[in-house]
Structure 1
Amino acid sequence: MISIRTASPRAPLAALTAAMLLGLSLAPAFAAEPTATAAPSATATDEASARDSEAGVRFKALYTREWKWRQAQFAGGDDEDVQGQASSRLPKVDTATQAERERYWAQVLKELDAIDKTQLRGEDPVNYEVFRQQIQSLLANQRLRGWEMPFNSDSAFWTNLGFTARRPIRDAEGYRRYLGQLRDIPRYFDEQIDNMRAGLVRGYSVPRVTLTGRDASIKEVVDAKLEDNLLYTPFKQMPANMPAAEQARLRAEAAKAIDEQVLPAYRKLLAFMQDEYMKQARTTLAAEAMPDGEALYRAKIREYTTLDLPPAQIHKIGLEEVAKIRAQMDQTIAKTDFKGTFPEFLHYLRTDPKFYPKTGDELLMRASWLAKRVDGQIGNYIGLLPRQRFAIRPVPSDLAPFYTAGRGGRDVYLLNTYDLPSRPLFNLAALTLHESAPGHSLQTSLAAEHEGLPDFRRYTYISAYGEGWALYSEKLGIEMGLYDTPYDYFGYLTYQMWRASRLVVDTGIHHLGWSRERAQAFLRDNTALSEHEVQTEVDRYIGWPGQALSYYLGQMSIERARAKAEQALGQDFDIRAFHDAILALGSVPLPVLEQRADRFIDESRAKAAAQRAKTAAAAAGSAAKS
């Protein structure tokens, strides 16, 4: 999902007070005469307003300046969700630039801490906490030298170039910028290689066991003929309104750039990966086994969960949740009339052909039908819906072998049609709810369309909130009636179990020293994930410490907030209004989300009381007339 534009995205924060979220003044009250309850003097009010204005102006100037600088730093860089600021170059990633970024964000944090946040009003208290979390995350990654590991088993800097190549280019200027990026690949790859070499020297690398086959996406570019080369994609079909002579000239420039700059750079990267990196990468698995490992893993936990929880506590929460879900799974199996043990039921699900699509098109069409069924229900659960629409497309072939089952962004829900015997249909409803609507596509679109928020909240992504909402969306499928059979419901439960198991597996690997085999066995024994998914998912957790923790902890936070609101409001609880309040936040740390829910309770009580008073007054008026 969308990052905060760093090689290793997303981070910690301090919780907001209820007073700050409610926008209440925390300035000291001024005493009036003992015999009267007077308002503050005009002078006192003016002084408070001046302080408000000064703090708010300083804060806005700071985040505006930093956001502009941040976008310039990463101009030309793409990932699967976000296209970077237009540029004819790729981002600089050399050590001097990394040092500059560390100094810059350290200064920003210093300036931010100098602002009296108790004097911020309106939306700024929330803006402050979100912005501070982002800067802390960016700075922590710089200090931990995260840029020395610019890829993992899930994604890489070279595969991100494929997302750039697949984006539509609409005019000649766009093609010239793209050609500039192609010509800049040698410099960009050389800097990345230098960084990875430095990581190897100090034992900071992707674990060797997860690297098998990860060079295939590089080799595909090296071996492809020009017309089939991924990076030539934009030139295959160019805008019809572009003169033929100009199209021919641009294609010739692309062919030359690919031959003279791109292919030599990819060959050099392939040789480095095969001859050095894959042979010298660390043989350990745990994040805590790397330099400053304990601090690194705690930083990743804060980054991805926005909570300061010790790994042992997260592991315990995971085991407790796994036990709860297992009991629900057993009850669901009983409804299928299956006669056998839990392992036998999992074997049945993994091996019976009736549970699997016969073609990629069948999988895509089933997902499309589920998405349309959600369209018919969504208005009952969410009041404000986004204008943005999403497409459903297969995961590109160069990514598919090591990619997750699906991935959702603002404009696309990517569905993996590779290895169809590992893509069960009973999981598809939960997957579609998570990745498209009301999950990632809907949430990120609403955030981007929220013009009342500053850009650093509209276009960034905090994993605990985003993944928590998407996992909560799977649960909304129960209320929407999307799980038609006990097998579909078991698919939902296996996805819940999968995310609860991540709490156990991630902390098991990175804190308790679990082996890859033990982690795979835990997923295999507790979920109905296919063997292919078990292997790719565990490798993802090994190479991406902490990210897997965000999902279930995020969902638990939203569920706590909803349960508290339902209990407090009773018949006055409005599910659409609750979801609108949560979604209007954009992407925020979990403590901010829960504080917003407290504010929602107060607002709803006030609204309900006002409505009852209005109704009573109307009734009294009618009685008086009669």
Structure 2
Amino acid sequence: MKNHHLTLCVLLAALTWGTASCTRTSEAEQTTEAVQTEQNISQVFENYFEERLKLFPLEATAIADSRYNDQLPNDLSQEHKQQVRQLYQKYLNQINQIDRSKLTDQEQVSYDIFKYEMQMSLEGLEQPTELLPINQFWSLPITMAQLGSGSSNQPFKTPEDYKDFLGRIKGFAVWGDTAIANMRRGMATGIILPRTLTQKVLPQLQAMMVEDPKKTIFWAPVENLPDSFTAAQKDSIRQAYTMAIKGEVIPTYKKLHDFMKQEYLPKSRSTSGISGVRGGEDYYRFLVRYWTTTQMTPDEIFNTGQQEVARIRSEMEKVKEQVGFSGDLKAFFRYVNDNPKFTPFRSPEQVLEAYRGIEKRMQPQLNKLFGITPEAKFEVRQTEAFRAASASAEYNPPAPDGSRPGVFYVPILDASKYNIVGMESLFLHEAIPGHHYQISIQQEQEGLPKFRQYAWYGAFGEGWALYSESLGKELGLYTDPYQYFGRLSDEMHRAIRLVVDVGLHAKGWTREQAIQYSLDNELTSEEAATAEIERYMAIPGQALSYKIGELKIKELRQRAERELGSKFKISAFHDMILKGGVMPLAVLEKKVDEWIAEQKKS
């Protein structure tokens, strides 16, 4: 450690002042050394972020950094995997050279997050992810269609933008060949998708197999060429896209489809959980740690889930009694779903106005619960018609430069069927103070390294959004028992996930068992429950992050209230949580404990 800092000191001295003594005798020199360490760690973070974007250019496009918009590396190749491994190992070595004790409090948090990220990323590279490159929920064939539609992150404003995406199309064709080669390796080694998921992927791929390039989603940007382009530019783009779609896009989707239908489907497995593949039990234990950012075991999570389901059920029973409903809970679910009094809207605008009304109602209470609020603008919008049928309500973050507001998107296929129950909890989760506060405040924090400004940890981010739902009463909402029941239904959905995810992947549950468990315990349809269970089959462990994160944030709040007594201030607690941005839950716990100790002194 000492040698590293001395070397750094000599180097900086040579660069800046020509000569300097690097012994550690005087206070002034110790201060100088601290500054140099700070410059060094900031540079490590900056260099890492820059190098990372080159290897993951889609991440750059997502934050409106256009330098790599033409690139789509073959992230399934051994070569790319090796480059990524070298990146993480290099920066893990660098962070290990820094003396954590000489850093400021904020830098220590950054140090802990960064070290965790490098270690988990290296461990992730040991998992067989590249042998399962496609599923119906998350995969490059879906992402490419979103980017190519012109309504996602990929810009189509200049001739250069159009040229850029042609580069990505070339990359996609290479990726498709590697995906097939990798899936063949998976078939040979017993690492393969469940049959039901392979069946779900086939129609997605088939939808892209058309004769006429103009009938694909990839033609939309060509259909909408900017008026500012010259006739020659427009003509050139039309020709290039016709050739690329006909010669590369459609053949890639067809190749993937035919392989999956003819070779992969017959070999796909009958088991539902990841434990059904070779090494699957260890893989799942890794995924549990990855998604929850904790050391919890699958068994601990399963037991927690069962306890939460029982607790929330008893709360639901209380609401049922409060409103005087005489049937059982399942009958009450049906009543809330089907009674016309819960579908009062006649137009999409009325639905959007109802959401805006929720924001107005809680506005007076927000200042009591939060000292800081985002500078980013916020809007409620109806989800665009072309994607509304398959979309969920969602939050789209603001552009860091303020050019785009944070948007809460609401899919409204038929306003007269839009159910009012659960609107308050949905707004708290997706909008304010859920994702809008958390993501915007994180992006706006000056002094946070970029790798933290744009980071995402589901256990923290989704945990915060679910915790936000629990603030409804403190924010003057949930005065209507049915809105509170909507809150309980949303919470139940996340509690069920703990049981069914572990059930599927570690306890040998079948897809059908998991679907039935959902139908028995929540307000849902068989179709919706099936889609959810198949999502958990496709991305094991991801669904655990919401509830585990919420429970940890609640536990830390209770600890702070208990230990600080009259010194506890809820707005100060919330501000402290939000200012740091997302982080692993163990790092958050350490941060909260240090904050409690500081508050006790003040």
Asked if residue 427 in structure 1 is aligned to residue 414 in structure 2, the reply is: no
1:68 corresponds to: 50
Most deviating of 44-53 and 56-65: 44-53
1:303: how far off? 0.7
- Following superposition, the deviation at residue 193 of structure 1 comes to 2.7
Letter matched to residue 266 of structure 2? K
Q: Does 1:125 align with 2:112?
A: no
Of residues 144, 151, 162, the one that matches 1:166 is 151
Q: Relative to structure 2, which stretch is displaced further, 248-257 or 297-306?
A: 248-257
Match of 2:73 in 1: 91
Letter of the 1:565 partner, please give it.
A
2:331 pairs, out of 335, 341, 344, with 344
Identify which range, 294-303 or 348-357, moves more after superposition: 348-357
Task: Give the aligned partner of residue 91 of structure 2.
Answer: 108
Q: Does 1:559 align with 2:554?
A: yes
Q: How does 1:157-196 map to 2 (within 5 A)?
A: 157-164=140-147, 165-167=150-152, 168-196=155-183
Aligned-residue offset at 1:589: 1.0
Q: Does 1:457 align with 2:452?
A: yes
AA matched with 1:108? Y
Contact 1:343 1:525 in 2 (8 A): yes
Equivalent residues in 2 for 1:272-421, closer than 5 Å:
272-356=259-343, 366-371=354-359, 373=361, 377-392=365-380, 404=392, 406=394, 408-410=396-398, 411-417=406-412
In 2, distance between residues paired with 1:91 and 1:368? 42
Displacement of 1:407 after TM fit?
5.5
What letter matches 1:429 in structure 2? E
1:442 partner letter: Y
What secondary structure does 1:109 align onto? helix
Distance in 2, matches of 1:315 and 1:476, equals 26
* Partner SS, residue 215 of structure 1: helix
CA–CA distance in structure 2, aligned partners of residues 521 and 421 of structure 1: 29
Q: Residue 208 of structure 1 is aligned with which of 180, 186, 195?
A: 195
Return the alpha-carbon distance in structure 2 between the equivalents of residues 544 and 519 of structure 1.
Answer: 15
Q: CA deviation at 1:174?
A: 1.8
Distance 1:400 1:125 in 2: 43
Partner of 2:9: none
Cα distance between partner residues in 1 of 2:124 and 2:387 = 26
TM-score, length-scaled by structure 2: 0.85
Distance in 1, Cα, partners of 2:415 & 2:199: 21
Once the two structures are superposed, residues 462-519 of structure 1 have per-residue CA deviations (whole angstroms, 9 ceiling, x without a partner) of: 1110010010111122222333521211110011111112111111111111111221
Aligned match of 2:10? none
Unaligned runs of 5+ in 1: 1-40, 608-626
Q: Distance in 2 between matches of 1:82 and 1:464?
A: 25
Distance in 2, Cα, partners of 1:81 & 1:518: 41
Distance 2:361 2:193 in 1: 41
Instruction: Note the C-alpha offset of 1:402.
Output: 6.1
Q: 3-state SS of the aligned residue for 2:408?
A: strand
Give the match's secondary structure for 2:446: coil
The 1:198–1:427 alpha-carbon spacing in structure 2 relative to 1, beyond 3 Å, is farther
Structure 1's 330 and 548: CA in aligned 2 closer, same or farther, altered over 3 A? same
1:448 counterpart residue number? 443
Given candidates 458, 463, 470, the residue that maps to 1:468 is 463
Give the letter aligned to residue 293 of structure 1.
Answer: G
1:498 paired with 2:485, answer: no
Whether 1:511 aligns to 2:509 is no
Letter in 2 for 1:212: Q
**Distance in 2 of aligned mates of 1:423 and 1:150:** 36
Q: Distance in 2 between matches of 1:84 and 1:292?
A: 40
State the match for 1:618 in structure 2. Answer: none
Corresponding residue SS for 2:125: helix
Report the CA distance shift for 1:82/1:345 in structure 2 as closer, same or farther (over 3 A). farther
Q: Spell out, residue by residue over 1:205-232, the C-alpha distance to the aligned partner (whole angstroms, 9 max, x if none).
A: 3322234333333333323854452222
Identity across the alignment (%): 31
Aligned residues: 567
User: Structure 1 residues 184-193 or 392-401, which shifts more?
Assistant: 392-401
| Separation in 2, partners of 1:68, 1:503 | 37
State the Cα distance separating 1:191 from its structure 2 match. 2.4
SS of the aligned residue for 2:57 comes to: coil
Residue type of the partner of 2:254? R
Asked if 1:537 corresponds to 2:522, the answer is no
Higher relative contact order (CA 8 A, sep 6+): 1
For 1:163 and 1:372, the matched residues in 2 are separated by 34
Q: Does the 8 A contact of 1:88 with 1:180 survive in 2?
A: yes
C-alpha distance in structure 2 between counterparts of 1:394 and 1:310, whole Å: 40
Using the alignment, how far apart are the partners of 1:53 and 1:523 within structure 2? 55
Read off the aligned partner of 1:576 and give its amino acid letter: S
Cα distance in 2, alignment partners of residues 193 and 84 from structure 1? 30
1:582 Cα deviation after fit: 0.5
Whether contact under 8 Å (1:55, 1:117) holds in the other structure is no
State how far apart, in whole Å, the 2-side matches of 1:271 and 1:373 are. Answer: 54
Structure 1 residues 109, 399: CA separation in 2 closer, same or farther (over 3 Å shift)? farther
User: Which 5+ residue runs of structure 2 have no aligned equivalent?
Assistant: 1-22, 399-405
What corresponds to 1:261 in structure 2?
Answer: 248
Contact 1:90 1:181 in 2 (8 A): yes
Quick one: which of 479, 501, 507 aligns to 2:474? 479
Q: In 1, are the aligned partners of 2:274 and 2:284 still within 8 Å (CA)?
A: yes
1:249 aligned onto 2:250: no
Deviation at 1:455, TM superposition (A): 0.9
Q: TM-score normalized by structure 1?
A: 0.82
Name the CA distance, whole Å, in 2 between partners of 1:467 and 1:183: 35
Aligned to 1:480, what secondary structure does the other structure show?
coil
Structure 1 residue 583: Cα displacement: 0.5
Structure-2 separation of matches of 1:110 and 1:530: 51
Which residue identity does 1:331 align to in structure 2? Answer: K
Q: For the residues of structure 2 that align with 1:398 and 1:208, how far apart are their CA atoms?
A: 29
Root-mean-square deviation over aligned CA pairs:
3.1
Of 386-395 and 590-599, deviating more is 386-395
CA distance in 1, matches of 2:131, 2:62: 21
Match among 145, 148, 164 for residue 128 of structure 2: 145
Contact 2:42 2:449 in 1 (8 A): no
SS of structure 2 residue aligned to 1:221 = coil
In 1: Cα distance, 2:409 partner to 2:65 partner: 17
| 1:166 partner letter | S
Distance of 2:326 and 2:67 partners within structure 1: 58
Question: Partner letter of residue 572 of structure 2?
Answer: A
Alpha carbons of 1:56 and 1:203: their partners in 2 closer, same or farther (altered >3 Å)?
Answer: farther
**2:5 aligned residue:** none
Question: Counterpart amino acid of 1:385?
Answer: T
* CA deviation after TM superposition for structure 1 residue 329, in Å: 0.8
Secondary structure class of the residue paired with 1:477:
coil
Query: Hey, what does 2:573 align to over in structure 1?
Result: 578
CA distance in 2 between counterparts of 1:320 and 1:480 reads 27
Residue 37 of structure 1: aligned partner: none
